[in-house]
Amino acid sequence: MITIIPAIDIIDGKCVRLSRGEYASAKTYNENPLDVALAFADAGCRRLHLVDLDGAKSKHIVNYRVIEAIASRTDLVIDFGGGVKSDEDLRIAFESGAQMVTGGSIALTDPTTFRRWLSRYGGERIILGADSKNGKIAISGWTEQSDADIVPFINGYVNEGVRQVISTDINVDGMLTGPSTALYKRILDEVDGVHIIASGGVGSIEHIVELAQINVPEVIVGKAIYENKISLNDIERINRGELC
User: What is the reported pLDDT for 242?
Assistant: 87
Task: Tell me the whole-structure pTM to 2 decimals.
Answer: 0.94
129, 102 in Cβ contact below 8 A?
A: yes
Q: What is the pLDDT of residues 214-228, one digit of tens each?
A: 999 999 999 999 999
DSSP symbols for 31-60? S-HHHHHHHHHHTT--EEEEEEHHHHHHTS
Angle subtended at Cα 18 by Cα 12 and Cα 19, rounded to the nearest 5 degrees: 165
Q: What is the pLDDT of residues 74-131, one digit of tens each?
A: 999 999 999 999 999 999 999 999 999 999 889 999 999 999 999 999 999 999 999 9
Q: What is the pLDDT of residues 42-81, one digit of tens each?
A: 999 999 999 999 998 898 999 999 999 999 999 999 999 9
3-11 and 218-221 strand pairing: parallel
- Confidence (pLDDT) at 143: 72
Q: Which residues are catalytic?
A: 9, 131
Task: Write the pLDDT tens digit of every residue in 135-186.
Answer: 999 887 677 788 999 999 999 999 999 999 999 999 998 899 999 999 999 9
